[in-house]
Amino acid sequence: MERKKRTAPSIAAMKKAGEKVAVLTAYDFMTARLLDAAGVDMILVGDSAAMVVLGHENTLPVTLDEMVMLTAAVARARTAALVVGDMPFMSYQASAADAVRSAGRMVKEGGAEAVKLEGGRKIIQKIEGVLDAGIPVMGHIGLTPQSIHELGGYRVQGKNDETRERLLDDARALAQVGCFSMVLEAIPWQLGREITEAVSIPTIGIGAGPHCDGQVLVINDIIGYTEGPAPKFVRGYGDARKVVSEAAEGFVRDVKSGAYPDLDESY
Ligand code: KIV
């Protein structure tokens, strides 16, 4: 049965309906097709692409041109899931005009149906500009990897009263300005629950506990297609490294031995 197209307003309405929101990242056409068929509500073309696709150490180097290209590949899958394009570092931080122009490229050239920006009250004017251009915005607070140097590392945020209050105020501001949802990354589960109860839009957690309105994970993490130990909040659902390694080893073995191709595989 064909699924109903998800839109930013229909995602926002899922909170009231008590329906959990399932979100995964994707960076290419085929993965987007498979995630859509599996029933995800939103596909986030995350700037995590910098690390898991492009091999950078953190998310900072990925460019707007690269994010537009990856988003366009996902959008070409024409999914029922809402396609959200992640705005890369320095595509919106300098000014509201930059934010509008960059978000415009994500929609016009990349085919994104919404964009995600990292930050709370400090970037409200930029979010407002993007919303005024008619582009739905997903917020992102807590651990914001684009501020890795300011934060001093990938650390759980909101652990003391002051930072907890700050994150609550940021969350309220994002809901009030008109974001249709927000990512809560790496915060104590109690704060995840508190923010979820305090705002009217869906909270999408990643390392923010079970009380969020939805969950997002990086596709490479859940299919076992990354190097090194996964963060505590990742649940693995596959072993793609094994699949790729075994296929590649089998191919090399057969070519070297002359077992591939046989005549049935030849013209
Ligand atoms: O870039 C990304 O993949 C993200 C998610 C982890 C929320 O921002």
Please write down the HEC assignment for all residues of the chain.
Answer: CCCCCCCHHHHHHHHHHCCCEEEEECCCHHHHHHHHHHCCCEEEECCCHHHHCCCCCCCCCCCHHHHHHHHHHHHCCCCCCEEEEECCCCCCCCCHHHHHHHHHHHHHCCCCCEEECCECHHHHHHHHHHHHCCCCEEEEEECCHHHHHHHCCCCCCCCCHHHHHHHHHHHHHHHHHCCCEEEEECCCHHHHHHHHHHCCCCEEEECCCCCCCEEEECHHHHCCCCCCCCCCCCCCCCCHHHHHHHHHHHHHHHHHHCCCCCHHHCC
Of the pLDDT bands very low, low, confident and very high (cuts 50, 70, 90), residue 185 is very high
Cα-to-centroid distance, 137 and ligand 1 (Å): 14
pLDDT over 90 (residue 1): no
How far apart are alpha carbons 257 and 104 in whole angstroms? 53
Q: Mean pLDDT, to the nearest integer, of 204-212?
A: 98
Nearest residue (by CA) to ligand 1, atom 1, is 46
How far apart are alpha carbons 92 and 89 in whole angstroms? 7
Q: What angle do CA 109, 113, 117 make, to 5 degrees?
A: 90
Q: How is the chain split into domains, by residue range?
A: 8-236, 239-267
Tell me the pLDDT of the chain averaged across its residues: 98
Nearest residue (by CA) to ligand 1, atom 5, is 46
Q: Mean pLDDT, to the nearest integer, of 203-230?
A: 97
Nearest residue (by CA) to ligand 1, atom 4, is 46
Testing ligand 1's pocket by substitution, the residue of 27, 43, 48 carrying the most ligand atoms inside 8 A of its CB is 48
> Over the stretch 10-50, which tens digit does the pLDDT of each residue have?
999 999 999 999 999 999 999 999 999 999 999 999 999 99
Closest ligand 1 atom to Cα of 183: 7
Give Cα 155 distance to the centre of its chain: 18
Cα-to-centroid distance, 187 and ligand 1 (Å): 15
What is the CB < 6 Å shell around ligand 1?
25, 44, 46-48, 86, 183, 206, 216, 218
**Residue 248 to residues 31, 168, 241: CA-CA distances in angstroms?**
20, 49, 11
How far apart are alpha carbons 208 and 192 in whole angstroms? 5
Cα-to-centroid distance, 227 and ligand 1 (Å): 17
pLDDT over 90 (residue 2): no
Q: Mean pLDDT, to the nearest integer, of 252-264?
A: 98
Q: Could you give the percent of the chain with pLDDT greater than 70?
A: 100
State the pLDDT at residue 186: 98
The verdict on whether 162 is a catalytic residue reads: no
Among residues 66, 118, 165, 185, which one is catalytic? 185
> Over the stretch 91-138, which tens digit does the pLDDT of each residue have?
999 999 999 999 999 999 999 999 999 999 999 999 999 999 999 999
Testing ligand 1's pocket by substitution, the residue of 35, 58, 116, 147 carrying the most ligand atoms inside 8 A of its CB is 116
Cα atoms in the Cβ-side hemisphere of radius 13 Å centred on 60: 7
Nearest residue (by CA) to ligand 1, atom 3, is 46
Closest ligand 1 atom to Cα of 185: 7
Q: Mean pLDDT, to the nearest integer, of 53-72?
A: 98
Burial class of residue 60 in the structure, from the number of CB atoms within 10 Å of its CB (0-12 exposed, 13-18 middle, 19+ buried): middle
Q: Could you give the percent of the chain with pLDDT greater than 90?
A: 99
How far apart are alpha carbons 221 and 227 in whole angstroms? 9
| Fold of the domain built from segment(s) 8-236 | TIM Barrel (3.20.20)
Nearest residue (by CA) to ligand 1, atom 8, is 46
